[in-house]
Amino acid sequence: KEKIKCLEHVLLIDPDDGDVWFDLGDIHYENSNDKANYCWKIATKCYTKRLERFKEDAIKYRKNSNHLLFMDVSSANVLDEISSKMFSLASAYYNLDKYSLSAQYYLKSCEINSKSIDSLYYASRAFYELEQFDDAIKYVKQYIEKTDGYKSHYHLGLCYWKSNQIFLAQESFWECIEKTHNDATSHYYKSLSFHALGSKKHEELFLKKAIRADANNIEYKYDLIKFYEENNDSKNAQKYYNKIHKSKKGSKNRE
């Protein structure tokens, strides 16, 4: 609630701040899809308006490069900012399930600034949602060439699986497992990979490890509950439901 108040106060000062609208959408998403989508839609308008101003400045600068108010849009700093705004616009479109526009702007962000390599990964995820698996594979492989992380190998595995390249998918899931570390997120991705590989024993083991490493992460607990429910283990499913209920009750009391 305090975060929402702070962000809304910022919007009173500058209602065209796309980043604030984006963050506000993220916070509202926990409780209201409608409010979140409203904020992300406004964020897209703000980012688009800002990018239009860059175009206008480029035209003005070409006409009068000595004018102090017009930006040199070919300078590194300005190009970085344009790339950043395109990345944010792409992310807002992704949250709104507009995956075609999302992929388009992620790739534009990378085209303008080659250092924006995360754009390749997220463009791949957008293509995955569009079920354009060849493009999804193409861009995540480009991303892996530049930064070889376990999350990207897991995503590549999903892309291969969806395109019926089962052996390559299995290779990618094992690659993900081998590149993980000893933190909660790594354990979680190991669990996801073992699920894809069909090893229920290891899926459960690493989900439990993820929960021990990050006891406040409710998503991990819900995934473990889902695992137990799918395997007809109602006793353990109820055990983790009780843990979630207890933690929520304790949180309310602290408030």
Question: In which band, very low, low, confident or very high, does the pLDDT at 252 lie, cut at 50, 70 and 90?
Answer: very low
Query: What's the pLDDT band for 128 if we cut at 50, 70, 90?
Result: very high
pLDDT for 11-45, tens place per residue? 999 999 999 999 999 999 888 899 999 999 999 99
Q: What six digits make up the tokens of 68?
A: 């102090």
CB distance 110 to 120 below 8 Å: yes
The amino acid present at 124, given as its one-letter code, is S
Q: Inform me whether the pLDDT recorded for 188 exceeds 90.
A: yes
> Exposed, middle or buried, 135 (CB in 10 Å: 0-12/13-18/19+)?
middle
Q: What local confidence, expressed as pLDDT, does residue 31 receive?
A: 83
At residue 145, the pLDDT reads: 95
pLDDT at 81: 87
Placement of tokens 């060849």 in the chain: 134
pLDDT at 227 over 80: yes
Residue 147, classed as helix, strand or coil, is coil
The Cα-based distances of 78 to 58, 60, 81, 184, 215 in angstroms read 11, 15, 5, 37, 42
Give the Cα separation of 122 and 136 in Å (integer): 9
Contact 153, 124 (CB under 8 A): no
Q: Nearest-CA neighbor of 154 among 113, 206, 105, 86?
A: 206
| Nearest one of 164, 97, 84 to 125, comparing CA atoms | 97
Say yes or no to pLDDT of 192 above 70: yes
* pLDDT beyond 80 at 66: no
